[in-house]
């Protein structure tokens, strides 16, 4: 299959290699670009653990502290792998979404040991802290990056849509799906999507593609990369 990746460039490279190993041809449209915030090293005094809900959160965290001794609790396996790759010693994965992370946390650490720090982007701030406050945890949020959205699809992708040579598109978040939808509508390519399989990491991601119509919309059984690739196959 000829597959479109809509992930930021940093996340797309390894996944593109995996897709090629599976026999697919890959086109890339990085619809989201990460802008990391510069600043002083993070103040981690009194923090007992760090929460991360994306690989970008890990990258942003690693830029702002040299400490690797604090436990890192990650939303899913890809984020956990990023934390291990950045050198953090103890990393746990909730294998799900933000709700799954909030539910898993009491198995790993109690609320009495000190505050938790959520390293995140502007769009992801707030929800996790609210979920954990109900469970008695004190959570501070460090907004360490912003996401910049693309205004249009790359010309190579526009050409593939126009000539019908694209078979499927992978969507990893409601935000990237929404950017794709807007680019398609602005370019007048809605009819081209009818030939595509849309493979989405969650139902919310699939819903963000509306009102576009596809040949088929598949939703991964779990909100992680492995489940999404299984859904494609």
The dotted CATH code for 34-147 is 3.40.50.10090
| Nearest C-alpha neighbor of 214 from the set 195, 233, 228, 199 | 195
Reported as a pLDDT band with limits 50, 70 and 90, residue 43 is: very high
Averaged pLDDT of the chain: 94
Residue 123 confidence (pLDDT): 84
List the chain domain ranges.
2-31+150-232, 34-147
Residue 148 confidence (pLDDT): 92
Q: Please determine, for residue 220, whether its predicted confidence score (pLDDT) is greater than 90.
A: yes
CATH of 2-31+150-232, one of 3.40.50.10090, 3.30.43.10, 3.40.1010.20, 3.50.50.60: 3.40.50.10090
Distance between CA atoms of residues 52 and 78, nearest Å: 11
Residue 223 confidence (pLDDT): 86
pTM of the predicted structure, to 2 decimals: 0.81
Two domains, one topology: 2-31+150-232 and 34-147: yes
Q: Which residues contact 193 (CB under 8 A, 6 or more apart)?
A: 161, 184, 212, 213, 214
| Nearest C-alpha neighbor of 129 from the set 164, 100, 159, 102 | 102
């Amino acid at each position: 299959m000829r597959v479109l990746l809509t992930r930021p460039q940093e996340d797309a490279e390894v996944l593109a290699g995996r897709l090629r190993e599976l026999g697919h041809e890959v086109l890339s449209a990085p619809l989201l670009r990460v802008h990391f915030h510069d600043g002083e090293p993070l103040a981690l005094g009194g923090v007992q653990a760090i929460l991360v809900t994306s690989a970008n959160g890990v990258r942003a965290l690693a830029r702002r502290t040299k400490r690797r001794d604090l436990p890192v609790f990650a939303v899913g396996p890809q984020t956990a792998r990023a934390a291990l790759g950045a050198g953090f010693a103890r990393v746990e994965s909730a294998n799900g979404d933000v709700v799954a992370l909030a539910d898993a946390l009491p198995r790993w650490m109690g609320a009495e040991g000190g505050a938790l720090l959520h390293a995140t982007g502007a769009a992801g701030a707030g929800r996790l802290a609210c979920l954990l406050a109900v469970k008695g945890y004190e959570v501070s949020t460090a907004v360490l990056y912003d996401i910049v959205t693309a205004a249009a699809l790359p010309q190579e992708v526009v050409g593939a849509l126009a000539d019908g040579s694209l078979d499927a598109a992978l969507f990893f978040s409601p935000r990237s799906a929404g950017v794709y939808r807007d680019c398609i509508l602005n370019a007048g390519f809605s009819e081209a999507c009818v030939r595509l399989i849309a493979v989405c990491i969650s139902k919310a991601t699939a819903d963000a593609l509306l009102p576009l119509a596809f040949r088929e919309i598949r939703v991964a059984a779990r909100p992680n990369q492995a489940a999404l690739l299984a859904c494609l196959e």
